[in-house]
Structure 1
């Protein structure tokens, strides 16, 4: 690996960019775990999995992912994930019928100070 990094500057640049991006993502995840509720962590994860970007339309999540896996990823129980997924569906943030489709309303709710996520229980 050291030889590849020293001998191939383009590879070295790409690898360093990857490491820095990964480090940044780990820091964001740690901050998320420390300061946000499991509900907001799930919302953030769904947005990330859907590659939610500039498009204002719904974005499907490209892979089938179980509630158990989502729970492990956000540090919650499967039953809490199920509760939040149902809540998100009722609020129109997602469509969930076998495949998860994330709507822009979820992004808007996460970005607000007093989001609909916290207010509508």
Structure 2
């Protein structure tokens, strides 16, 4: 198990796990596999474990009172999910859905708490990560309320780009192939609307397409779009 860095949308927050820390956390975990679109955990369900993504992409989302889905964050290999509820000892507040075939290590809370009691440095890292995720979620929810669908798609694509390791000059290759229907669900709009926005992004040079799927992203141009500069 290699160490992982939880980056951010800036340069002042970075959380790294050493291979020794990950081994301590995951050695009692159980590997589980989820096919594409399966729900990993449900809002309102009892939280009795956390998950470490070993493979694939997961969409963390909430539902509004009107029944609309709001994506809180996209998580990928090397990231933990379901951790805030573990510290609150409360039911899960969000849904987690596999966007592709996903493998996770499930760590029971009783085992996690033993590790945290014994290794305070790991506890501090989880608390830092939880606080950072809360800031991210608040910012995301505000953006989704204040921005129209094009801005929401720009933010979603920027999140994908930030998690990609395949970058050349100003272009980032997309490591997950999402359909227009899936992107529409993530940004809470119709497939037809998502299709129109994606086509406009292509014409503006924000993205590259192959067929109906996004192949590459130009983050600098999208970043300007997301803050309303163009």
**Coarse TM-score class (shorter-chain normalised):** 0.7 to 0.9
Task: Give, in whole Å, the separation in 2 of the partners of 1:38 and 1:101.
Answer: 20
Aligned to 1:51: 162
Task: Give, in whole Å, the separation in 1 of the partners of 2:214 and 2:228.
Answer: 26
Contact 1:67-1:81 at 8 Å conserved across structures: yes
Q: Shift of residue 100 of structure 1? A: 2.6
Aligned residues: 114
Contact 1:52-1:59 at 8 Å conserved across structures: no
Q: Tell me: higher relative CO, structure 1 or 2? Use CA pairs within 8 A at least 6 residues apart.
A: 1
Unmatched segments (≥5 aa) in structure 1: 116-121
Normalising by structure 2, report the TM-score.
Answer: 0.45
Aligned to 2:216: 101
The Cα offsets for residues 36-78 of structure 1, whole Å up to 9 and x where unpaired, read as 111100011111111189x751111211111122111111111
Unmatched segments (≥5 aa) in structure 2: 1-111
Aligned to 2:179: 66
Question: Which structure: greater helix fraction?
Answer: 1
Judge which range, 11-20 or 87-96, deviates more.
11-20
Q: Does 1:35 align with 2:151?
A: no
Contact 2:207-2:214 at 8 Å conserved across structures: no
**SS of 1:50's equivalent?**
helix
Q: Does 1:26 align with 2:137?
A: yes
Q: Shift of residue 110 of structure 1? A: 2.8
Question: Which structure: greater strand fraction?
Answer: 2
Normalising by structure 1, report the TM-score.
Answer: 0.81
